[in-house]
Structure formats: C-alpha cells, structure tokens
Structure 1
Amino acid sequence: MTARPRSIRLTPRDIPSPNSISPEAQAALERLIDADGVPVNAHFTMPDHDDVAGWQAVKASVDAHYARMLAAASDAPTAAVETIRCDDAVVHVATPAAPIAEDAVYIDLHGGALVFGGGEGCRHGARTLADQLGLRVWSVDYRLPPEHPFPAGLDDGLATYRAALRSYPAERIVVGGRSAGGNLAAAMLLRAKAEGLPPPAGLVLLSPQVDLTESGDSFVVNAGMDGMLPTSLMSSNRLYAGGADLSDPLVSPLFGDVANFPPTFLLTGTRDLFLSNTVRMHRRLVSAGVPADLHVFEAMPHGGFGGAPEDWEAAHSPIKRKGALVIIVHLALGGCLKAPPVNFGVTADTGGHIAYVLDAACHQALRSDVDAVTIVTRCFSDERLDPVHAQAEEVVAPKVTIRRIATADHRYLEKEALGADLAAFTEAFCEMIEREERRPDVIHAHFADAAAVAMAAQRRFGIPFVYTPHALGIDKRMQRLECPGLDARIAAERAAIEGASAIVVSTEEEAARQVGGYGVALGDRVTVVAPGVPRRDCVPGPDTLADRLGDWFECPDLPIILAIARPVAKKNLAALARAYADDPALQAQANLVILAGQHAYASADERASLAELQAIADRPGMRGRIALPPQHDADDVAALYARAARGGVFVNPALHEPFGLTLVEAAAAGVPVVATRNGGPADIVATIGHGVLIDPEDTAAIGAAIRAIVGDPTRHLAFATAARTRADLYCWHRYAAATCALYGDLAAPRLLACDIDNTLTGCVEGARAFAVWRAASPLPFIIATGRGFDAARMILKRWRLPQPDAFIVDVGTRLMLPDGTGGWRACAEYARTLDAGWDREAVAATLAPLGVTAQPAATAGPHKISFYGGAADAGRIRGALSAAGLAARVIFSHGRLIDVLAPTGGKAQAIAAYAARRGLTLADCIAAGDSGNDADMLAACGHAIVVGNAGGELAHLSPRPGLLRVRRHHAGGVLEGLATLGLADASPADLPVPVAA
C-alpha cells in the first residue's frame, strides 16, 4: 500500500499580480521580476556564513548600491539630524521641524538581514522616519557582522534604550524595527526585562525577522513568491549568530518569554517571506496577554511596494496608536477605601471588593499603555475610622491616586444608606470630570450604586463604563435571604447590566447564572477575567495569631482548619463550626480557627452570627479546640495561611460565593481547600485542582471532606502541590492586560471629521438627520474638505448642515479655527509645519509644461496647486516632480480632480494637528469620506466610515479594525457608521438604502 504523501505537490503555474491591490502596487510587484518571471533578487547568492572576505565584498557592493539610491532619491527628508554615542553604540538623532511631542521618542532599529543597512542609509532612514512620525527618532547604527557578530548589535540597542531612559520616561518611548531590526527590537526588550528595566510604551514590529531557524510555513510557501526576499537567509543568519544557537531567544526572539511586553503593532503581507514570523509572534504575544495588533496587507512582499498607496497606509497605521495612553477611573462608593494597609472588616462593606479595586488599579498602572488610574470614592469623617477618609486625595502608588468626593452628607454610610446621597454624589462626580483637563477614557464601576453614577457620566460626556457586580441581589433571593430594599437593589443591578458598555465578571458561572439571571440581553458584553491574588508574605513572630495559638488550644501543635469570612448568614460559618463540633474524629486531627471580621465593629446582624459561633465554641468538650480571634490584621492572615499549609486545610462553606478570592489566596500559600459547590469556587477548584467541593448545607459532608484531607498526608501533598504550581493562573498582570485591552476596544472616539461633497451632501433626508444628530451629540465635529473655506461654508448653508468646531479646507492644507468673536482664523502654527520641504514656485514651474488644465485660481493656496485631469495626468505629474527632485503629494479624486500638496499636507495631518490641540491623537478620531482625497484620513484615523456611495478610488483601503464600509449613502451612511460605533441611534428607517439591481 502506497503511503499517503505528507506534502502538497504543486503543478507549475504563473501567479499574476492581483487586481485587488492598487495599480501602483501591481506595478511594484512586476518590477521585482525579470523577463522570465523570476524574482530579480533570486539571482543574488550569498557567501557561506564562514566566508569573511566574501561577506565584506558583498557588504561593500550593497553599501554602494544604497549610496546610489540615496543620491537619486527625489523625496529628501527635512528633519535635522545629529549623531551621538551611547556607550559603544552610534545613534543618529533626527528631529522633525515641528515635533508633535517634545517629551517622546521613537527608537528605531534598521533592517538589512542583520548584516547590511548601517552608515548613511541608517542616518537617512532616521530623518525619513522622523518626518513620517512627527516624532524625534533615535536610529541605532548598530555594529554588524562579520566583524561584530551577535551580541554586538543587541548590546548597542540595549545601550541606546538605557540612554533614552535617562532622558525620557519609559511611557514616552516607543521601540520599533523593520525586518532584521524587528529581531533586535524584540530581543532588546527580552534583555531589558531580564535586567529589570521598565518596558517602553509600545513596540512596532514590521515584518520582523524573529525566527532565524526559519521554521515557519511561509519560508516554504512564499519561497519564490516574495520578490524582495525570494530565498532563505540562512547564510546571513548564521553569520550574525557567530556560532550561537539559532534557537536562543536572544537570537530568535520568537522563542522568548514575551509576558509583560508593551502593546505591540505587527505588520506583514501575504507574499512576505516572514509572514509566518509575524503571525506566530502575534499569537505568542496574545497568548501572553499582551495587547497586539496584526495588520496583513494583500500581496505585499517583504519591505512593501516602494511607494504605493498601501505603503502610505502601512506607514501611518502604527502612528495613530503611539502615545494614546489610557486614563482609567475606578468608581467604588461603599466601604473604607484607602491605600494599603486596609483594615478589612472594620465596617460591613470593607471587604474583598476593596482589595480587588486596589490590586486592579495598581497592576493596570504598571502597564506602559496606561497614563493614570484614579480610584474615586466618597469622602467622609467618622471618629471611629481612619481620618484619611476625609482627605480629598491620597497617593496609592505611581500613577494611582484615590480621589474622595464630598457631598453635604459627611457621615460614613453603609451600603443600604448610600441611595439617599447618590444624586448629590453623581452631580459632584460629573462636576469633577467637567473640570478635568483630560477626561477619562473609561469608568470601571464596582457595584450597582457606582454604575448608576457612571451611567450619568456616560450620558453627559460619552465616556463608556464597565460594570463589575461583585455580588448580586438576585443570589440572595435564590437563597431565600430576603432583606429590606432587595427589590430596589435588584432593579438597580438590572439597570446597570442594561446600561453598561461591558460587564467584567470573574467566573463563567457568574456570567451565565448570576448576570444571566436578570433576563437582560447581553450580546457579547460580558467578559470573564479572573482576578489575581497577591501572595501574602508571612511575617513570623510572637505578634501574629499563628504564634499565639496556645492561647486558645489545648493541643496547639495540631494542624489547623482555617476559615476567613464576614460573620453573616450567607457565609455559613456556623455550619462549619457545627460540622467540626459534631465530628470527634476531626477534633482529634485538627483545631479550628475562624477569622470572622473585626468583632468590635460588628453590626447587630453580625453580632448575632458571632454569638452563634461562640455558643458552638462553648459547648461541652469544645473548649481548647475552636479559636474565634476578635481582631486580626494582614500579618495574622499571612501567618495563619502558612500555618494551615503544614497539614491543615482552608474552608469556604458559603451558601453561595460569587468568586472566592480566599481560595486563591490559600492556593498561593500552598493550602488545600474544601469549598462550597455554589458559585465561583467550582471554577477555581476545577482550574487549580487543590481541593474538593461540598454541599454547604450538609454539615456531615463538610466534616468528612475536611477529615479526608487532613487525615491523608498523600492526598494533602497532592492538593498542596497543585496549589503551589497552579495558583499563578490567577494573575493580576493577566487581569490588567485583559481589562486594558477591553478598555481600548470600548474607548469612545472623541472627534468626528467629515468630508462634505457626496459624504454629507447628496441626500436631503440624510443631511437633515445628521443635523438633528449633531444638535444632540456632545462629540466634537470638524469638516475636512477639498473645497476652500468660503465654498465650504456656502455648501453647508445650502444643505442646512451644522456648523463644525473647525474647518480643514483645501485638501488639508489649511486649518481654520474659531477666533473667539464669532469669526474664523487660519492656524498659523499648522501652516508653518507645511513649509518644510515645499517649494511652490519650483513645483508650479515644473508642472506648467505638462499642459494639464489648471483649476481656477481661487482654488489654489500657499500649499496647494490644483488641476483638472484623469489618472494618467496624475501619473504624469508624479513623474515630473520625481524627475525634478521635488517633494509633494499628488492626490487624484472624484475621477477628475488633481491636487498637488506640500509633502507634509493632507487631511490626516491636519486632523492630527487639530486633535493634538485637544490632547487627542488620530486613534481618538473618526473620519468619514467617499473619495480619493479622503484616503489618507480614512487610513490614519482610529475609526473610519466609508459611505456606501464611495468611488473606486477607495477600493484599495485594506480591511482593518475600525474601518467600516457602510451600506447607506451620503449622510445616512455617516449616521449608520456612528450607530455601529454606539455614537448614534440606529439610522432612521426612512433614509434610503441602496438596493442592487
């Protein structure tokens, strides 16, 4: 029998350039092949890795080729450049004419197969990149083999990063690399992490060479398909490695531990030889909880198309993500929320959610994509409680602050009494946001009272909110634990679930049974993210309860059964005490310790529960066996967990437990558990495997389960081992990564930029509906048009369209701002940025002989010259400018209009300039358009709406997160896109929807 083949046999065939890419990109692919259809670069052969003389000759030839290319380049960069040294590293520092941020830097590591690309090519690349990004760029001219093999180049990159950290905060540094530079950028962050250096704000990997073993699928599938890199680079890989193992993570960072890497942007193409490198690196980052964006361009080979529209889109895709740091507000009203140490149990509401909020905030703040985290709570004064609660602000950690809002009621209020103060607190909270120079990107509300406040802020400011219930009233009803105000609480929780942009819960059970029990349509709004639990450091000594167990027990050396919970009925502590008191065999094996809150602060209901526990402890024969310490602190808890790990067990007997943080704390200490089967503990015990579940209403089963662990050393060891090895599955860093990714998805766009002609105009009903939306929406709105200022205002008036907050006119070469007196003024600062590299007279003189029909003089401007013509005329203009060595942007739109702009002009650049004035980036913006002169803003903004009547000039825009191609035409299409983004109601039913014939 013939064995089945293990590979696919392809018949010879020709593979054309696809029609799905721009004509310029098609032409670029065709330039990479010879007359026989073979990639030109396939004729180039590399020396063996140990042929030093051969490599030196190749490098000299490549350097000469680079020099000729630079000399012939028509688009000379304008950024200033100086060369510095960082230890052994040579670094070219390029500064654009008008940096968008003086306090930020991009560290670039150039490409070149880890062998080429240094010297003047690196210096020129630094200037080009600085112009493109609008940021200061430090380009590392790292040492290269054969003279300087691994790790010389990596050492140079790390030395540069260390030097940058001395001048810039880590959160204002982005590191990036193309091809070989992507290898060094990723390896540099692995080294930085190992040395304890803070991570940068972001990482950009453009077709990164992260696997020098070449083990990925595309090294076979795309071999010969990638016109730029048609064959293996194994010889240069080995030359660079210099004898080091190619699978060493610092040589091939694909194999490294990328946990806690900064948010990462990755780019590749379907014909890229390094496609597998990029896709596998993306999966590795995502699996480690790192926010990562992967952009794959149709038919793009390694290095791009050499100037096609797709290259402009690719180059600007990471720009809109840089520097867009998140501001988070956690909102929690109940309990005594303060910086650690927290006196848990000091009030009935000072419990686990306080620890959750503090740990969540502090770990989110450690991330480089987070600018600040604020925890907002009530301000109150109570002589029984810490005076810090009357303090308006309290610093918790770097980038984490507690802000306390005062109302007319300065008392401490229990959860049930907060409702009376909620309206005043809500108004004060909204006033606080109104005063903020920069408003939060997201509000994370804890419990339904905080969600009600967050909903008010969402309505007023458009800020999305996330809801974490922690505990739900519907569970009390299911457990038949009726209490005053339960109906109102359940109604408030239902409103919070209905109104939240997203709901974060800790277990699948909580998502399905608890939140799902409210009968609210949830869609995909519920996200399960398990919290982490900090390991409690044990501080042994005579001052901890663990060392004073002799004060309670006749046999203090016995293992302990430990329980920690508030003394309330739902925690079911009395059932545990009865199970122990009714089981003499268990009494002989272990003592029982119950930490039931701080007794001195107990409420009336809690005092009743404590009395029940004490009555059980006072039964005949129970003295010297049960400890009910009246107070405890964090050191006591840590020491008791450590004591329980020595043959004991932790028990959570709650009738229902929403999550069960103490079970994960026990796991971190290596303590086996016996836990209720109702609620979150079922998920936790299944995940960690460190104990058993019980029916909390079966006291005999509780005792038997404890006895089976305490009395069986082998079983105890197995559970303890599972606890220690799997507790890290509950990790606050992983929680922070998941929630920040969620916040980023929710962060509402903050600025709408619309084209006019055929975008807002073209349909009277749509224009009318857009005007109604604008009148009710707080979203800032600007016009971005090819028209001049007067013409733009006239067309808005004719169509009864609303006035914008600003005008971008003349295809993005003029920014018009309100002058404060009802008039408008041109933004001189923006105009100055367009002067760089623009020689208008020379451009006009060069184009005059072409005979292309000029548009009326009124359409021209200092940074714009306009013509009538077709695509062929636009091509002739580009060719003439290139031949003359003149820098300009040529934009063809509407099938007949050609605009020649200053090289740094365009709608996207103008939107970025206006957004920066409001503390925003392009990531915060929505662009809406229909034609070729809208392409740059549609590619660059975080969200883009391509209306249904858009022309073929926008067909080349690649699908990406945030790009919406809507069905409706004109302004109705804009509204459809806004509705999809949650910024408008569903498009009015009477607006026309195009129907195919």
Structure 2
Amino acid sequence: MDNRPENKPDSAQLHLVLISLHGLIRGQNLELGRDADTGGQILYVVELLRALAADPRVGRVDLLTRRIHDSNVADDYARQDETLPDLPKAHIIRFPAGPDEYLPKEALWPYLDGFSDHAMEYLRQQSPSLIHSHYADAGYVGMRLALQLGVPLVHTGHSLGRSKRQSLLASGESERTLEKKYRLSQRIRVEEEILATASLIITSTQDEIDRQYGMYDWANAERMRVIPPGVNVSRFEPGPQPSPPISTELRRFLRAPQKPPILALSRPDERKNIAGLIHAYGQNPDLQARANLVIVAGTREDIRDMTAGPRRVLTEILLLIDRYDLYGRAAYPRHHRPEDVPDLYRWAAGLGGVFINPALTEPFGLTLIEAAACGLPILATENGGPKDIIANCQNGVLIDPLSTEEIGEKLLSMLSDKTIWQSYAKNGIAGVRRYYSWQTHVDHYLTALDELPHAVPQQQESIPTGKRITADRLLFLGARLLDPAPIPEQQEELVALLHRQRRKMAFGLVSFRPLHELLTLLKQRRMNVPDILITRGGTQIHYGASLSRDQGWSRHIGVDWQGDRVYDLLAETPGVQIVGRSGQGFYAVHGFIHDNAEFAGLAALNDQLRNNDIPGRLIALNPQEFLVVPQRASFGFAIRYVADRHDIALNHILVIGSAYADLDLLGGNILAAQVGGEKDLQQHEDIYQSQASGLPGAMEAITHYDFLSNNAAI
C-alpha cells in the first residue's frame, strides 16, 4: 500500500513533528536509567530533536509528549511548552493524557485518544509537514493525527511487541502473565496498523528489518530505511580521564581499582541480562584476576521502593555478587549523573577495559556507539543491532548472551591481547564518526523525507450558505438507536428536547447506512432531518434539510482511495457477495458474507487488502455484512472534522452510540455514552454506560453529563 499524499514543499519550510509519549522527557539533564521507560529511546528522540533543529534545512521541530503533574518527578515535566534555549527551532510540547501522575507505558493505552485530540487541536494551527512517531503508543497517536491532517506518517519502532513476546516466552514467562503485564496483543495489533499506514519506517539496522519486522504480516521492506541513530561526538570523545568524579564512587567497591574494568551500563531490566554477565564473571577465576566488574544499572535510593521489575533485577544482582563472593572485585554504584556517562567510558578506556552489552536481544545499542566514540572496545549480544555496529566499525566481538562460558572466554581474550585491544579502540573512534554521528543521521533522514511525496495543504472549504452551526454544543446519536421503532412517548420527548434547545444545541445522526436509507428511516419515524448527517461509516457529511454535502471532507478522504480495486477484490473473494457498482457508495464498498464455509474471514480479507497495497478501513457491520472505506474515513474522524469546521470544542460534543459503533466514535476528549449496558466495546473509564436501552438510554446520558445546563462542567 502507498497511502502517501502528493506534492512536496520546499525543504527549508519543513515543520517536523516528533511524538514520544512515555518516560520522562525534557530538553536537558535527562534522567536516563531512572526506570524501564526512561532509557535509550528518550535520549534518541531528544538528540534527534536537537540535531534536526540545528539543521538549516528545517524550519521547526516539535516533540510532543505527555504532561505530568506529580510530586515524585520534577516540575519540568508539567511545562506545556519548553523551547530549548540554545535551539529556538526546537520545542517540547506537552499534552495531558489520563491522570496527572507519572504512569508506565503499559498503563497509557486507554488515554491515547485524549492525547491525540489535544495534539490535533494544537497541530490544526501549525500545518506540520509530517508526523514521526516513536514506539507503538506514539504510533497509534501518529496514525490518528496523520490521517486527520492528511500528512505522511514516519515511524520508528525502537522495540517490537512480537519480538518482545518471543524472547519473554523463551525466558519462561507465561502468555497470560505477558498479556496482563505488557498488553502485548493490543500493542501488536497497533504495530500491524502502523505498518499498513506509515509512508516510511525508519530502523536502526538491517537485522531489525529482516528478523524483527519480518515477523509482521503487513511489513513492507520497500517502505523501510536503515538510518542508525547518532551520537554526540563532541560529548563522547576519547581523551585522558584518569580520575573523573564517578571514579571516587567506584573505588569504594574495588580493592584494586587500577585493574581494567568490564563496564556494563543499562537499565535494571531482565532483558539486559546483567545476571548472565555476573554468572560469566563469577565462574571464571582468571577473568576475576585480570579485571574488575563495574555494573551501572540506573539510579536508586532504596531498592524496596522500586517497581517490581527493577527491584527484582537489582535484588538478583546483589544475591549473585554474594553467591560468587565478588566483594572488592565488583562495583554497583547507586547513583550516576548523565554527565558521568562519557567520563565512565573514558575512565574504562584509560585503564585498558572493555564495554559489554550482554542483552538477550538489542534493537540497536546506543551505549555501544557511545563507548566506541570514547575509544572503548566492545563486546555485544549477537541478537539484533550490534551486528551492524561491529560490522561497520570493526571494534569488538559478538557474544551469545545465553552462553556464560563464551562470554567469560571472550572477555578474557580481549583484555589479554593489547594489540587487538588497541586496534578495536582506534577503529571504534573512526567508525562512529563515519557511520554514527548525528549529522550523518540527519543527512540520511532528510534525504529519505525528500523521497516522500508530501501533503497537499488541506484547503478549508467554505461552509455552505446558512449551514454554519451557531450552537455551542452538538449532540450525535447513532442511528441504530432508532431501530426498532422507539415508543412514541420516548421519541416525542427527544423531539421536544431538540426543539427547545435548538439555539443552544445542534443535532446530528451517524449511520453505516447510505444517505437514502437513513432518510427513509427518518421519514418512517416522522422525524425532521437533523442539522448534520454522517453516513456510510463516516464517508459522507451532509448538512440540514437541503442535504448540502461537505465537499472538503469528500476530497480529504478520497486521497489514494481505490474503490474499483476494492470492488474487484471483493467480487473475486470466495463466499462474498456484492451488489452492482451503481448500488455502491462512491467512498464505500458494501459486502455480504453469503457462504461462511467458503469465506476465509474478515481478518484474512483485511490481509488481502494490505497484501495488494489497497489502503482502506474494513468495518464489520454485523456477522454477515461489512464495509470497506478509505483510511481517512471513520465516524470519529468525521465528527472531529465537523467540530473543527464549526469551531465547537470537543468537550462540547456528546456522542451516544451502541455496542456496534466503531471504537473511535466513543472516546478521546468527546463526551461519550454507550446505551443498554452492553459490554462489547473496549471498556473505557471515560465512556458512560447507560443502563437503559434505546432513546431512554440516550436521555439518561444527557442527564448524566448535565449536557444542557449553562453551568455544565463540559
């Protein structure tokens, strides 16, 4: 699929929008290693922000992240807009997403629609050139923003759910535990959608494309580019560092601090395999005689106060050091500052030490190129990105992270051969400057963007005469609430309410039906045509009794729509029946499953669309019916478009649907209710569950939100 818009702006006018949601992000003094979410990805996106903003070809760069009000973290993370003082083109913009407090990334999923709505309100005023999302949670938001704005989506995965599930299952975790802990099924579904939507996937290594993205059904190598992250070579550079401040802390642990150190630097995460390294060192007396072991695993005050994962890792480190009686030979400091990191590398290099990354798998390995830039030879896991780093730089060796014997032997060999050590040190310094500087990254990045067709600026169509909504709030009902026929008294109550409040509140209906069928239903129910009709699954917007169609919406969703190809594919699909072309909507193809034995299922049909590079959204109407519509079309997107066009705040819109409504209709910053107490929809704490069915359930929701009160908290 190629869903990329056409035309290309002058690169000097590029306004790039990066999204990275979890962890603690600020422009300086990053708290790397504080927890599992504040690691290499955080450094990557902030350094990318800086490098892009420093390039004269870029006009502005925004990094969108989550706003956090929490006494346990610095006030910096509550600032709405942070402009980097040395780079006026670089901005960190923060939006709320769920509770005020700091949350782990696995807990953010229910709040992403709200974040997206806040970001959309901001970006409508900015006219960005593209969206670049980082990790699956930001990818979900990035898809919504890119489809609504009509701009390309660029995505960097950093790590992938299928790969993570595979490695954790291999380590003995149960599927049930993984699902509860990491919500991997949801993450993997989102990653597949990102692959189908994005115009460009940026990876750090070819191995990431071949082995990790190769596990995904909708991966397309033609839209992937290997652009390794950079390292700040002015900060990470070789040089004499005999006694940096951090060395004082390390000497507290070591009887012979002059010995070469084996340095490991990572978050306290099970996947980093720090325990495997300690086993390798503890089982090799010759290695212990030759070198000290230095483990820098984040920062901590009291291990007992840490979350379960880091607490478990750090406890195991202490137990293994005790088991092998490594006191005096192993250092494991409680604290280090970001400015200590390059000092650590230079200190280790000055003593003839080595750097090791023994992770079970490593998507890239930023610490490896940092160490190499400082002249420190490396040993690294053979699983993932380190293969590319060592192939490019020729500055170390790969290890099997599961073989403690091999790890010990290769460490001892490198530490014992001065000629090899010096060659690796020299090669690493030169290799990083050739392959892994941020300027090299930006050059390749902007070249890749230049190859993308960019967005045509969306023309703001004039609203048809007399059709601008002047009310300050908007009520949408799912048309299914009129099926079956409401009790007359209930319908009369609703109609009377709409009439009384017509100056304050506009009224709309949403339906999967085509327009003519919805009009027939309204006639049968003896109801007037409402102010807004959104029909055919969000593909058409009409206003008032004159049924003026919103041409701007039609043009927006029509980009890259391939209705004829969709029709032909469905016509050839076993078990599917479709009406003639004249009976289809211009932006929707309606299909029926007439033979369940022959039909392979909607998931398989969705795969066919993706495999044939047909951009589209498949919507199940019921067990026997479905629609295929453009990617940019949905009820939720259409309602947000209407809100923007008529200057209605999202929290002044109430949408009342049934369990059959598409998910993005209910959620985000729009007030929402689901009638009948049905539980088919993904549960969301912000969606009110009316216990009554039909129109009484709608009236219950209006009362719950106090929607018509001048003092309503909306």
Assess, with a 3 A threshold, how the Cα gap between structure 1 residues 582 and 747 changes in structure 2: closer, same or farther.
Answer: same
Maintained 8 Å contact 2:24/2:38? yes
Instruction: Measure how far apart 1:492 and its partner are.
Output: 1.9
Q: Give the conservation status (yes or no) of the 8 Å contact 1:546–1:636.
A: no
Aligned to 1:635: 339
Do 2:67 and 2:100's aligned partners in 1 also have CA atoms closer than 8 Å?
yes
Q: What is the percentage of aligned positions where both structures have the same residue?
A: 36
Shift in Å at residue 548 of structure 1?
A: 3.7
- SS, match of residue 746 in structure 1: coil
| Match of residue 53 from structure 1 | none
Which letter does structure 2 place at the counterpart of 1:681?
P
Which amino acid in the other structure matches residue 695 of structure 1?
Answer: D
Render the CA deviation track for 1:658-679: whole Å, top value 9, x for unaligned. Answer: 1111111111011111111000
- Residue in 1 that maps onto 2:161: 473
Corresponding residue number in structure 2 for 1:720: 425
**Aligned equivalents of 1:558, 1:725: Cα separation in 2:** 26
Q: Which amino acid aligns with 2:417?
A: D
Question: Does the alignment pair 1:706 with 2:411?
Answer: yes
> What residue identity is the alignment partner of 1:340?
Q
Greater CA radius of gyration, 1 or 2? 1
Indicate whether 1:486 and 2:184 are aligned. yes
Partner of 1:376: 64
Task: Give, as a single letter, the amino acid of the residue that structure 1 aligns with 2:212.
Answer: Q
Question: What is the alpha-carbon distance in structure 1 between the residues aligned to residue 298 and residue 245 of structure 2?
Answer: 16
Distance 1:984 1:582 in 2: 56
Any residues of structure 2 matched to 1:824-973 within 5 Å, and which? none
Distance 1:652 1:523, change over 3 A: closer
Counterpart position of 1:743: 449
Q: In structure 2, how many angstroms separate the alpha carbons of the residues matched to 1:321 and 1:339?
A: 28
Q: Which residue of 2 aligns with 1:525?
A: 223
Q: Structure 2: which amino acid aligns with 1:684?
A: I
Amino acid at match of 1:696: P
Q: 1:320 to 1:604 in 2, by over 3 A?
A: closer
- 1:283-338 deviation line (CA, Å, top 9, x unaligned): xxxxxxxxxxxxxxxxxxxxxxxxxxxxxxxxxxxx99757510001000000000
Match of 2:76 in 1: 388
How many Å separate the matches in 2 of 1:669 and 1:493? 36
Please identify, of 391-400 and 699-708, the stretch whose mean Cα deviation from structure 2 is larger: 391-400
Would the alpha carbon gap of residues 666 and 385 (structure 1) be closer, same or farther in structure 2, given more than 3 Å must change?
A: same
Distance of 2:137 and 2:412 partners within structure 1 = 42
Q: 1:510 aligns with which of 187, 204, 208?
A: 208
Tell me how far apart the structure 1 counterparts of residues 453 and 102 of structure 2 sit (CA, whole Å). 33
Q: Take 2:319 and 2:448, find their aligned partners in 1: how far apart are those partners?
A: 49
Letter in 1 for 2:194: A
The alignment's TM-score, normalised by the length of structure 2, stands at 0.60
CA contact (8 A) 1:463 1:747 kept: no
Q: Tell me: CA distance 1:572–1:776, structure 2 relative to 1, closer, same or farther (3 Å).
A: same
Q: Which residue of 2 aligns with 1:593?
A: 294
Instruction: Give 1:683's match in structure 2, choosing from 388, 409, 413.
Output: 388
For 1:421 and 1:492, how far apart are their aligned partners in 2? 15
Kept after mapping to 1: 8 A contact 2:80/2:95: yes
Question: Counterparts of 2:281 and 2:168 in 1: how far apart (Å)?
Answer: 26
SS at match of 1:634: coil
**In 2, Cα distance between the equivalents of 1:746 and 1:552?**
54
1:417 aligns with 2:118: no
User: What corresponds to 2:321 in structure 1?
Assistant: 617
Contact kept? 2:241, 2:346, Cα under 8 Å:
no
Contact 1:539–1:639 (8 Å) recurs in 2? no
Q: CA deviation at 1:705?
A: 0.4
Structure 2 residue matching 1:645: 3-state secondary structure: helix
Residue 984 to residue 776, structure 1, CA distance change in 2 (3 Å): farther
Structure with more contact order per residue of length (Cα contacts < 8 Å, sep ≥ 6)? 2
Q: Secondary structure at the match of 1:632?
A: coil
Is it true that 1:344 corresponds to 2:32 in the alignment? yes
Alpha-carbon offset, residue 549 of structure 1: 2.8
Match of residue 194 from structure 2: 496
1:539–1:638 CA contact under 8 A, matched in 2:
no
Q: State which drifts further: 529-538 or 371-380.
A: 529-538
Question: Does 1:732 pair with 2:438?
Answer: yes
Contact 2:244–2:347 (CA under 8 A) maintained in structure 1: no
Q: Note closer, same or farther for the CA distance 1:475–1:542 as it changes in structure 2 (3 Å cut).
A: same
Superposed displacement of residue 801, structure 1 = 12
Q: Which runs of 5+ in 1 are unaligned?
A: 1-318, 754-771, 779-799, 806-971, 973-981, 987-997
Structure 2: gaps spanning 5 or more residues? 1-6, 460-534, 542-547, 554-585, 587-612, 618-714
Alignment of 1:232-251 (within 5 A): none
Change (3 A) 1:422 1:704: same
Q: Which amino acid aligns with 1:641?
A: Y
Partner of 2:245: 544
Q: 1:480 to 1:802 in 2, by over 3 A?
A: closer
**362, 367, 372: which one pairs with 1:667?**
372
Distance 1:672 1:391, change over 3 A: same
Q: Could you say what secondary structure the match of 1:674 adopts?
A: strand
- Aligned counterpart, 1:275: none
Checking the alignment, whether the CA contact within 8 Å between 2:36 and 2:269 is kept in structure 1 is no
**Which amino acid letter does the alignment assign opposite residue 446 of structure 2?**
C
- Take 1:777 and 1:372, find their aligned partners in 2: how far apart are those partners? 35
| CA distance in 2: counterparts of 1:518 and 1:571, whole angstroms | 24
Alignment equivalent of 1:561, drawn from 221, 244, 262: 262
Residue deviations 1:938-972 (CA, integer Å, cap 9, x gap): xxxxxxxxxxxxxxxxxxxxxxxxxxxxxxxxxx9
CA change 1:394–1:475 in 2 (3 A) is same
Offset of residue 751 of structure 1: 5.0
- Count of equivalent residues: 455
1:470, 1:429 → 2: CA distance?
A: 22
Equivalence map 1:195-344=2 (5 Å) = 324-344=12-32
Give CA-to-partner distance per residue, 1:362-395, whole Å, 9 cap, x none: 1111222210000000001111211110110111
Match for 1:576 among 240, 253, 277? 277
User: In the alignment, which residue of structure 1 is the partner of 2:121?
Assistant: 431
AA in 2 matched with 1:356: Y
